[in-house]
Amino acid sequence: MSSPVLELREVSKRFGTRKHPVWALSGISLHVHAGETLGIVGESGSGKSTVARIAVGLELPTAGSATVMGRPISEVRGKGLIQMVFQDPSSSLNPLLRVAPSVREPLDAVSAQPVHVSQARVISALEEVGLDRHAGERFPGALSGGQKQRVSIARALSALPPVIVCDEAVTALDVSIRAQILNLLREVQSAHATACLFISHDLCTVAYMSDRIVVMYLGKIVEVGTTAQLLGAPAHPYTYALLSAVPKLQQGRHARKRIRLCGDPPSVMQQPRGCRFHSRCPTADERCRDEEPAMRKLHDDHFAACHYAPVEESKLAALAAAHEGEGA
Amino acid sequence: MTAATTVTVAAPHRDRGGALAGTWRFLCSDASLVIGIAACIAIGLFSLGGGWLVGLDPQKTGPDVLAAPSAVHLLGTDSVGRDVLARLVLGARSSLFVAVVATIVTMVLGIAVGMAAGFFGRATDWLTMRAVDILLSIPPLLVAITILAAVGPSVLTLIIVLIVTYVPQVVRLVRASTLQATTRPFVDSARISGVNRLRIMWRHVLPNMRGVLIVQATITVAHMLLVETVLSFLGLGVPPPAPSLGFMVSEGRQWMEIAPWTVLAPGGTIVLIVAAFTFLGHGLDSALAKRT
Amino acid sequence: MTRYMLSRLAALPLSLLVVSIMTFSFLHLVPGDPVDALGGENLSAKEEAQLRREMGLDKPVPVQFLYWLSHVVRGDLGKSIRSNRPVLDEVLSRLGVSVELAALSIIMALAIGILGGAVATRWRGTWVDRSIMMGATVGMSVPNYFVATLFVLFISLCLPELGVVSYVPASTGLFANLSSMFFPALALAILSGATFCRYVRGATEDIIRNAEFLRTARAKGASEARVLFRHIIPNSLVPLATVAGLQLAYLIGGAVVIESIFALPGLGQLLLAAIAQRDYPVIQGCVLLKATTFVIINLAVDLLYPLLDPRVQLERGVR
């Protein structure tokens, strides 16, 4: 197995002051290999955007290490090794620059090349994302959301980085356009054997794009495994709840009993003791309240942080229904 | 390649005339803006070329003292027989000169410091903002008056005093705009690409603040004009015998009842000049807001 | 609430100290000192040096400052070099006039501003709106000394029975006092009023563009005017409060020019004369007063916010 292109080891990130710290991430470890897509799924406050920002070097970890091709990310900035596609197409591009200069920016930063070489690269990048030759001369304001996002992807790819990070890259797009952009991402990724970190709150999108998936909750990873493992045999109650929330039509034959989580997600600022999920977990008990579960290996590549994983589906459903009945 | 069939992006046909037509439409989009531009052009022409047009020497005293407006002296004469209109031209010119030069320097300094504070953050920011807070807590007119009373008024001192008074405000505004601008993802993208910080400021942050900066510049000119006339009213402006609008109002007060034009003419001119820039600033603000 | 107020007040001495230090250093940096102002060329170098020693001006600046500070802490602001009266007396005797002028002028300005803004909002988008806003723009461009001069002209030509325009203290007669203050206050109010008018209109525009609740109110059948007065205007007052507060604080410090034109014995006059004469104790005392009023008024405005806008929370507590 070749070494990972992007690796985070025990990364923690603290925001706020020493007296009032907010730990957005606690001990996150993940890795992505060349050509592989690792999906990160989680709700607001799970820390997935922070992971994205650390992966591209916009933030530095408070503890732990983040490396690209074995080198610390802080060193690697500007060497064209990593790029990002952002959520909002409208503010991802400088409205005062035409498309071509925006796409060329990562390229110029890497190495000063003769103009015609970078021009050619820009045109081929734009073609690759499915935009025609006039696109380069336009201003972003003249483009639609989908088109702008294609430009963002072209920009991310222009310097041919080995890793790209997509942070909610399709969330702001119309549903009809989403499929196009997702397919585009898959194609360009396989064409260049780019590693991809794909982040979203939508499990379906993540599952469609990813080879392996990481499920995050309140700054910690609760489960990680291949897409097949997570969809077929989810081990952590939270993963199960996420899956069951997907509308039944999409689940088809594998439709699951719906597990409703009770209560609101706790605030990142007041993290519960013990397992972070215990306040909403239908199967939580004393042990869950006091002891934080460690990441346990269930099969090859499949890990979960839960004392009782894998929980049986029927038991989970029964407990959840009971909780609901209590009007919790 | 099934990259969902190439998406056609319409060619950038230089839409209806292109950049120039676009600018013209922008400039006509708001009534205040049109008034402001017209007025500023008129005043510019007046202060630069008016002297030649009027043809009379503003410093020439004469026997025809406190004469009412006539064919020869369109706005009458003052207490020593000098033509009021000719003096207005010179007075307008000097006030505009002081205000515009001071504004340019203030904006350059303010932008440099404000962007640095907003962009480099932490220590630079904290220091800058504390300095700004302190400077803003001192009554500005007081500082101006004290310096001028002590050092003696002159064009240079006036300009410096105005700059010192208005830089803190500009710094505060630029810093706030910079902070807002730097949160936008395209700035992050440039950072990820490793673009040099100064280049990011120059290419991504500054141009996107243009509107705010231009409005601020015009408003600053208007304010500086007002302050300059107040100072000259108090006798601390451009030293006589050079005509200065505020001082002309002050002088004219003595003769107000028998020769009201000695007060109304310079006063009215001040209002017109300041209003021109204020209309320009408000108009730009409205037009920019309409565009988004 | 009380804790917040107390903590803000606790910061007062520090900011006053900073302002005093800055003023003091500034005064001593600028060339010239009281002795120059007093004697001019009439005194010989020896006599000048003598005077300086008497006034303590020969000591190093920080020492002079500490000396002044030690007196201030005991409530003694020193004596005016010009008049030899205690600074505190000089200031207090004129404070009433300036405060009255400031208060009257702010009230008028608020009336002009809110009324103008409300009318413009009511007829939003029509010529009424545009003319009021343009009128406000012009109003902001008129220097107050010019307005004041015009008023004086107007009074002398049209209201000769008002006689020589001069100040009448309240003790003589309230009506006379108010009428003597009317025009000065109005002269000041025009510029502020025009600014307030634009602020109010700008705020109402923001509200109208963004607020969904207006649709609900209208759907319930509220009339235009009702909607306006119950909902839009009160919300537009919040940004106005800060500006008005600043303006008030500035005016209390003394409206130099207006006071000189209308011959009002206020703080502005005092300060102007003091600056001309390099009367350090008076300048320091006035600046101290100005800074104090500034902080207190700022605090009052901040305390007023939650009343105007219930969403505002003063303390950075846990949401």
What separation in angstroms does the CA of C170 have from each of B258, C102, C181, C184, C268?
Answer: 33, 15, 10, 15, 19
- Answer yes or no: do B279 and C134 touch at CB < 8 A: yes
Interface confidence, given as ipTM, is: 0.84
List alpha helices for C74-143, DSSP H: 87-122, 127-141
- Picking from B40, B133, B135, B142 by the largest number of C CB atoms within 10 A of its own CB, the best residue to mutate is B142
Domain B31-59+75-291 in this protein, CATH class: mainly alpha
Phi and psi at C133, nearest 5°, equal -65, -40
- In the beta sheet, which residues pair with residue A73? none
Residues 6+ apart with CB under 8 A from C309: C235, C238
Considering only CB atoms, B32 lies closest to which of C15, C137, C290, namely C137
Mind telling me how many Å the CA of B275 is from chain C's nearest CA?
5
Mind listing the domains of chain A with CATH numbers? Answer: 6-210 (3.40.50.300), 233-249+256-327 (no CATH)
Chain B: touching chains (3 or more CB pairs < 8 Å): A, C
User: Which pair of structure tokens corresponds to residue B208?
Assistant: 């996107």
Report pLDDT digits (tens) over C209-236.
776 666 666 666 666 666 666 777 777 7
Q: Which residues of B touch A (CB under 8 A)?
A: 1-12, 184-186, 188-195, 203-204, 207-208
User: Which pair of structure tokens corresponds to residue A157?
Assistant: 């790819």
Most confident by average pLDDT, B114-118, B267-271, C47-51, C257-261: B267-271
CA closest to C142 among chain B residues: B271
Q: Which amino acid, C220?
A: K
Instruction: Give the pLDDT confidence score for residue C41 in this predicted structure.
Output: 64
Contacts of B186 in chain A (CB under 8 A): 91-94, 102
Report pLDDT digits (tens) over A178-222.
988 999 999 988 899 899 999 999 888 999 999 999 999 988 899
Q: Is the pLDDT of residue A39 over 60?
A: yes
Instruction: Give the pLDDT confidence score for residue C219 in this predicted structure.
Output: 67
User: Which pair of structure tokens corresponds to residue A160?
Assistant: 């041919």
- Answer yes or no: do C149 and B249 touch at CB < 8 A: yes
Report pLDDT digits (tens) over A133-155.
788 888 898 888 889 999 999 99
Give the position of tokens 């039944």.
Answer: A248
Report pLDDT digits (tens) over B257-280.
888 888 888 999 999 999 999 999
Contacts of B249 in chain C (CB under 8 A): 145-146, 149
Strands A63-68 and A37-41: unpaired
Instruction: Give the pLDDT confidence score for residue C6 in this predicted structure.
Output: 76
- Answer yes or no: do B12 and A105 touch at CB < 8 A: no
- Answer yes or no: do A92 and B185 touch at CB < 8 A: yes
**In this predicted model, which residue has the larger pLDDT, A148 or C60?**
A148
Mind telling me how many Å the CA of A83 is from chain B's nearest CA?
7
Q: What is the mean pLDDT of residues A293-316?
A: 80
For chain A, percent of residues with pLDDT exceeding 90 = 28
Query: Does the beta carbon of A80 lie under 8 angstroms from any beta carbon of chain B?
Result: yes
CA–CA separation, C58 and C64 (whole Å): 9
Considering only CB atoms, A131 lies closest to which of B2, B7, B188, namely B7
- Answer yes or no: do A79 and B194 touch at CB < 8 A: yes
- Answer yes or no: do B32 and C290 touch at CB < 8 A: no
Contacts of C276 in chain B (CB under 8 A): 149
Q: Is the pLDDT of residue A67 over 60?
A: yes
Q: How confident is the model at residue C268 (pLDDT cuts 50, 70, 90)?
A: confident
DSSP state of A131: B
Considering only CB atoms, A132 lies closest to which of B4, B9, B193, namely B9
The full set of domain ranges for chain B reads 31-59+75-291
Most confident by average pLDDT, A89-103, A260-274, C90-104: A89-103
Strands A302-304 and A296-299: antiparallel
Contacts of C138 in chain B (CB under 8 A): 271, 275
Considering only CB atoms, B192 lies closest to which of A82, A135, A184, namely A82
Model pTM?
0.81
Contacts of B139 in chain C (CB under 8 A): 250, 253, 287, 290
Mind listing the domains of chain C with CATH numbers? Answer: 87-308 (1.10.3720.10)
Considering only CB atoms, A83 lies closest to which of B1, B184, B192, namely B192
CA–CA separation, A136 and A99 (whole Å): 5
For chain A, percent of residues with pLDDT exceeding 70 = 87
- In the beta sheet, which residues pair with residue A85? A166
Contacts of B207 in chain A (CB under 8 A): 94, 96
- Answer yes or no: do B275 and C141 touch at CB < 8 A: yes
| Percent helix, strand and coil across chain A, each to the nearest 5 | 40, 20, 40
Picking from C252, C217, C316, the residue whose alpha carbon sits closest to that of residue C99 is C252
- Picking from B14, B183, B187, B189 by the largest number of A CB atoms within 10 A of its own CB, the best residue to mutate is B189
